[in-house]
Structure 1
Amino acid sequence: MEKKKGIIYKINQWRIQKISNRNFLVILAVVVGLIGGLAAAGLKALTHGIAAFLQNDVQSEYKYFLYFFFPLVGILLTVIYVRRFIRKGKFEHGITPILYAISRKSSRIESHNVYSQIITSALTVGFGGSAGLEAPIAYSGSAIGSNIARFFGLNYREVTMLLACGAAAGIAGAFNSPVAGMVFAIEILLPEFSIPAFIPLLMAAATASVVSKVLYSEPLFYLVSDEWVLSALFFYIILGGLVGLFSIYFTKVDGWVKSWFSKVKNPYHKIWLGGLSLGVLIFVFPALYGEGYIAIQQLLLGKSNSLLANSIFSDYKHVGFIVVIYGVITIFAKSFATLITLNSGGNGGTFGPSLVMGGLLGFVFAHGINLTGITYLAEANFIVAGMAAALSGIMHAPLTAIFLIAEITGGYTLMVPLMIVSAISYFINRATVKYSIYTKNLAAHGDWLSHEDKDKTVLRMMKLRYVLETNFTILGPDEKPNDRRSDIIHTKRNIFPVVDKELKLLGLIYSERLFSILMGEEIADKTMKELAQAPLDVVRMDANMYDVMRKMDREDIWILPVLDANDRYMGFVSKSAIFNKYRALLVRQGSYLD
């Protein structure tokens, strides 16, 4: 181990002497992009390979009956893999843990995520789990960037930058969309950025996109699009509003489903419950199988009856109003199928499902209008617009939504409608739900690094144990001032806690009172317990620092004693210590993208 550390140290010393940090960061961004592109191509090939094998190569008279159990098997294999091979670290999924790593873990992501995210999401989605691959590949890419940066001993700012480069590379490689990958990293992971941040992100995203395109060139969508017409503007506005409302519903349901599954403690009970529920949903709504992009592609090609084609309702696939009703139900079923997949033990994300639900909503809206004969709407255009609106509302990422959809569908002629629906959906969701589906849990626990209310954010980032002051002279309840004359005179503190043998805080004595006694101005035979006065308030070790500051301001007090959960004395917290830590965190937070 020591020899390995020595080699790494020598490499870093040579690098520091020969290459400037700025140039080295660009070089590493290319490396991250290269590995991220390989990971994205590998994930797509593995997932689609599993799906193709199950759908095409498995030959049995009970084949379609087996489809009922495939999602269960995928989730079971995922859980078994996690419990068997990831014992030391913690396994998480989605974009939220990446944000938490930036806010609370110095942008450090455990190395197993480089491959474990790929394996588990391929098993989940390949076997029919109704989730997306984008969040796992973003997580894998972030782990690649974070661990490469840590290997070379880079600082927090540079580790964060390479983490974001990895996420950008993952998204770019997954969608073959370098611009969207870069915008995603800036909008979701690096909300405060400077111009130099563009260069590493561009290099990482472009490299990953090229690598992924070479290794896995199959495009996600083929768009047959018409120019948008001004007369359809009113309908785009309505669609934006509808998707915005749906995004609020999805965010609420996400909380409900998480809460419900959290009550099921046995992981294998979750698997059975989630897997069988998912099997039933997919049996009734085949479009829910896997990512769901195939269903969207069929609709983009104008095959409006494809939703019912392989379902038990296929006899009604040419009845227009039944197609619309079935499509609406499929949208809501997709929301539950996705959340069931993720909360029962499967690995994936809501990124892809957001696109699918938005696309289905756009199709249902346009197809329904066309059936009325009021006007004709280009259904493919509204499918694309719905995808952008859903991504914008659910993720709170309108720019990512606009550029991603324009890139993966080639629908640059629809840039104006994409901008309109994305903005409307975002503002409707934001008016009701302050935080996105990725940040709401972090915000609830004070772990979200928000840039809108920086004071509150920085205070919530603090841990009380890092500002706890313990260098106070503790007095015993039965002691008298003269017994501790030397300690009282030579202490640098002006406050003394009176604590018993069980470490219970009995009260506080201020130095003025003790000096008065020692100088003979007061009677000296009183015990410390008799002299002590109750504190105005106390603070618990698990207290939120924002609440601590509010308490101090409310009581107009500069220092408060800290107790643990068992009321034992731990030390003091002062405004001075909080302000010093606050300044340090502000410097760190403000400089990570200088």
Structure 2
Amino acid sequence: MQKISNRNFMIILAFAVGIIGGLAAALLKGLTHFIASTLQDDIEWHYKYSFYLVFPLIGILLSVLYVRKFLKGKKFEHGITPIIYSISRKSSRIELHNVYSQIITSAMTVGFGGSSGLEAPIAYSGAAIGSNTGRFFGLQYKEITMLLACGAAAGISGAFNSPIAGMIFAIEILLPEFSIPAFIPLLISAALASVVSRLLYSEPLFHTASTEWEVEALFFYLLLAVVVGLYSVYFAKISTIVKGWFTKITNPYNKVWVSGISLGVLILLFPTLYGEGYLTIQQILDGQFDAIVKNSLFSDYKDMAWVVVCYTVLTLFAKSFAALFTLNGGGNGGVFGPSLVMGGLIGFAFAYGMNQTELIQLNVPNFVMAGMAGALAGVMHAPLTGLFLIAEITGGYTLMVPLMLVTSISYLINRSVLKHSIYTKVLAESGDLLSYEDKDRTVLSMMKLRYVVERNFVKLYPWETPIDRKSDIIHSKRNIFPIIDQEGVLLGIIYSERLFELLLGEEEGADKTFDKLVQKPNDIIRESENMEVVMAKMNRDDVWILPVVDADNRYLGFVSKASVFNKYRALLVRQGHYLE
């Protein structure tokens, strides 16, 4: 650190984070598929298939038990939202245990058949690797944030063997404002992670022989984009509803039973919901259009095209519930993978259904890939990630124009209805989201009240008089004094101007006790309130300073506009150097 420039040191660390992130991705994929293949292929038992209905419950239960028994006292979260929150409110700090706990819990959840994806956990694990690497070397916020993004990019790159998509994911989701130099560490981490993951676990996620798209099908790609965009809105809304259902269940083990049993019933009716669901998408890409019905209770009707279409649509909606049951019931995973599967099912049902009308013959695999890209763009508000991810993992660069249209339209439809993505909605509602469209609000949201509370004020007590505290009042550098009782509860305030008038005899009452002189403040600030509320109260009454109290009205100090502006300026400087 003494002999190498900061930029070169960051590049070296980006190399390290990329390699470790690639190892983590390979480990997660290998461990998950080892569990899945052991349960599905290696165990020779006549009745094992009937246990597929309870395997997801077992996986979720094991995940919950691991968190409760081995991570005692440590906070465990899943998904991309906590990563964004750590950047916004926790100085990009992610607890070290996430490096391995994300891998263990998601492998158990998905390996046992939980209907979620591995992408969010590996992004979380990679982000933890980057964050803790930066903290280990004592780096500043901007460098830690960059390494966190490098780790997340490495995770996505390693999971999909798609370095470009990994880099763009980090930029679109985690680093909405970036400069050109930010590309270099991200490129290095994503590329190395892809190489390492490919060396250790070379099986591609999807493979397809994509063909050129036809101009005659352009209208149908646009129509598909509208359908996918509307479905992404539905999924975001149903996600909030299902989360509300599970929030009402306070016992974590009851959540396991509810989610596990519900998953078992859904898998009985729709076997495609078992695990990630990528196998079914691959079979469709290979031209096995009856694959979704073939292993179900309705396999006798697999040769009836409209039964296949209708069953696919039902599976699509069941997938949305299965994924959300898995995640809210205690399993670890993300909506990244389910979004891919749901988008693929929409594309298949749309193109295969259109072909049955004999109005046009559409290339079904092309529409499957377009649907996958559109779903990612809509659900995640990340059109470029959806575009390049599908192009990379399927080799479908010949579809670039349809993919561009579908992702952009799907994103615009979702964004027109929902201002925030499924990842950022909760953070936006709580005021914890960095918004680069409203910089004032963003900087205020980054500011914590406890860091701007000033405490060097002379406290006065109700039984005292101005004469009793004459020396303290005269020598105080503050022009306002809190009056508190013996329990520390704030009774009110009094200004130095009034006290000087009393002490100089300009007004009678220098011998009166403060309980008779106390003034009510314009307003008070609760320690739990955020800075937006604080500034709103100050601006409403046009005051410069307000007292701060705790939940029991005990005096804590004062917050002034001067201290807020000083902190605001410091945060602006930090934000300005965010990604230099």
TM-score bracket, normalised by the shorter chain, equals over 0.9
Contact 1:120–1:346 (Cα < 8 Å) also in 2:
yes
CA contact (8 A) 1:247 1:390 kept: yes
**What CA distance in whole angstroms lies between the structure 2 residues aligned with 1:191 and 1:169?**
18
Question: Match for 2:227: what amino acid?
Answer: L
Equivalent residue number for residue 440 of structure 1? 425
Question: Which AA in structure 2 matches 1:298?
Answer: Q
Where do 1:418-433 residues align within 5 Å? Answer: 418-433=403-418
Which residue number corresponds to residue 176 of structure 1? 161
Q: 1:578 aligned to 546, 554, 564, which one? A: 564
The within-5 A match list for 1:440-519 is 440-519=425-504
Is structure 2 residue 69 aligned with structure 1 residue 84?
yes
Asked if 2 retains the 8 angstrom alpha-carbon contact of 1:274 and 1:341, the reply is: yes
Output the amino acid matched with 1:314. S
Question: Structure 1 residue 348: deviation in Å?
Answer: 0.7
CA distance in 2, matches of 1:253, 1:89: 29
**What is the alpha-carbon distance in structure 2 between the residues aligned to residue 484 and residue 218 of structure 1?**
79
Q: Deviations over 1:157-212 (max 9, x none)?
A: 11111111111111111101010011111111111111111111111111111111
Structure 1 residues 472 and 17: CA distance shift in structure 2, 3 A: closer
Query: Aligned with 2:457: secondary structure?
Result: coil
Give the C-alpha shift of residue 531 in structure 1: 2.0
Question: Aligned partners of 1:38 and 1:490: how far apart in 2?
Answer: 64
Distance 1:272 1:61 in 2: 26
- What is residue 566 of structure 1 aligned with on the other side? 552
User: 2: distance between equivalents of 1:586 and 1:129?
Assistant: 44
Establish whether residue 547 from structure 1 lines up as the match of residue 542 from structure 2: no
How far apart, in 1, do the equivalents of 2:341 and 2:238 lie?
17
1:46 alignment counterpart: 31
Q: Is the 8 A contact 1:324 1:367 kept in 2?
A: yes
Instruction: State the 1:23 CA deviation.
Output: 1.1
CA distance in 1, matches of 2:546, 2:408: 47
Q: Which amino acid aligns with 1:229?
A: E
> Any unmatched runs of 5+ in structure 1?
1-15
**Pick from 237, 245, 266: which aligns with 2:230?**
245
Residue 277 of structure 1: CA displacement?
A: 0.8
Code of the aligned partner of 2:277: G
Deviation per CA, 1:540-594, whole angstroms, max 9, x where unpaired? Answer: 1111210111121111111111121112222111111111111112222221211
Deviates more, 1:328-337 or 1:97-106: 97-106
Aligned match of 1:116 in 101, 125, 135?
101
Deviations 1:220-267 (A, max 9, x none): 111232211222111111111111111111111111111111111111
Say if 1:308 and 1:314, in contact at 8 Å, map to a contact too: yes
Equivalent position of 1:8 in the other structure: none
Paired residue secondary structure (2:312): helix
Alignment of 1:19 with 2:4, yes or no, is yes
Percent of aligned pairs with the same residue? 68
Which amino acid counterpart does residue 589 of structure 1 have in structure 2?
Q
Instruction: Report the TM-score when normalising by structure 1.
Output: 0.96
Distance 1:267 1:353 in 2: 23
Whole-Å Cα distance in 2 between the matches of residues 480 and 292 of structure 1?
Answer: 76
- Deviates further, 84-93 or 162-171: 84-93
Partner of residue 217, structure 1: 202
Show structure 2 runs of 5+ residues with no match. Answer: none
1:483 aligns to what SS in structure 2?
A: coil
Q: Which of residues 522, 531, 534 is equivalent to 2:517?
A: 531
Amino acid in the other structure paired with 1:378: N
Task: String of CA shifts for 1:428-472, please: whole Å, max 9, x gaps.
Answer: 111111111111111222211121111112212222111111111
* SS in structure 1 at match of 2:88: helix
Specify the alignment match of 2:51 in structure 1.
66
Question: Is 1:368 matched up with 2:348?
Answer: no
Q: 1-side partners of 2:70 and 2:506: how far apart?
A: 71
1:75 aligns to what?
Answer: 60
Determine helix, strand or coil for the equivalent of 2:468. helix
- How far did residue 507 of structure 1 move? 2.2
CA contact (8 A) 1:78 1:345 kept: yes
For residues 289-368 of structure 1, the aligned pairs below 5 Å read: 289-368=274-353
In structure 1, distance between residues paired with 2:167 and 2:106: 23
- Distance between the aligned counterparts of 1:165 and 1:289, measured in 2? 32
Q: Residue 263 of structure 1 corresponds to which residue in structure 2?
A: 248
> Alignment partner for residue 406 of structure 1, among 391, 412, 417?
391
1:375 alignment partner AA:
I
Asked if 1:100 is matched to 2:81, the reply is no
The code of the aligned residue for 2:275 comes to G
Paired residue total: 579
User: What is the alpha-carbon distance in structure 1 between the residues aligned to residue 24 and residue 551 of structure 2?
Assistant: 46
Residue identity matched to 2:33: H
Aligned to 1:12: none
Over aligned residue pairs, what C-alpha RMSD do you find? 1.2
Indicate the SS of the match to 1:460: helix
Work out the CA distance in 2 between the residues paired with 1:227 and 1:585: 50
Amino acid at match of 1:149: G
Question: Alpha-carbon deviation of 1:78?
Answer: 1.1
How much has 1:37 moved relative to structure 2?
0.9
Could you report, residue by residue, the CA deviation over 1:32-82 in whole angstroms, capped at 9, with x for unpaired residues?
A: 111111111111111111111111112222122111111011111111221
Query: Per-residue displacement from partner, 1:322-354 (whole Å, max 9, x unpaired)?
Result: 111111111110011001101111111110100
In the alignment, which residue of structure 2 is the partner of 1:283? 268
Mapped to 1, the partners of 2:563 and 2:3 lie a distance apart of 41
Question: Which residue is 1:9 aligned to?
Answer: none
Aligned to 1:6: none
Summarize deviations over 1:381-418 as a string: whole Å, max 9, x none: 11111101110111011111101010001111111111
SS for the counterpart of 1:497 is strand
Moved more, 386-395 or 60-69: 60-69
1:381 lines up with 2:366 in the alignment: yes
Instruction: Tell me if the contact between 1:446 and 1:461 (Cα under 8 Å) persists in the aligned partners.
Output: no
Q: CA separation in 2, counterparts of 1:479 and 1:118?
A: 63
Structure 2 CA distance, aligned partners of 1:478 and 1:108?
Answer: 48
Counterpart secondary structure, 1:17? coil
Match of 1:13 in 2: none
Output the amino acid matched with 1:556.
Answer: D
Matched residue SS, 2:564:
helix
- Work out whether residues 173 and 213 of structure 1, in 8 Å CA contact, stay in contact via their aligned partners in 2: yes
Q: CA deviation at 1:135?
A: 0.7
Q: Distance in 2 between matches of 1:538 and 1:345?
A: 40
- Residue identity matched to 1:300: L
Runs ≥4 residues deviating over 3 A: none
Equivalent position amino acid for 1:357 in 2? M
Pairing partner for 2:176 from 181, 191, 215: 191
Alpha-carbon displacement from aligned partner over 1:448-503 (angstroms, at most 9, x marks no partner): 11211111122122221111111111222232221111111111111112222232
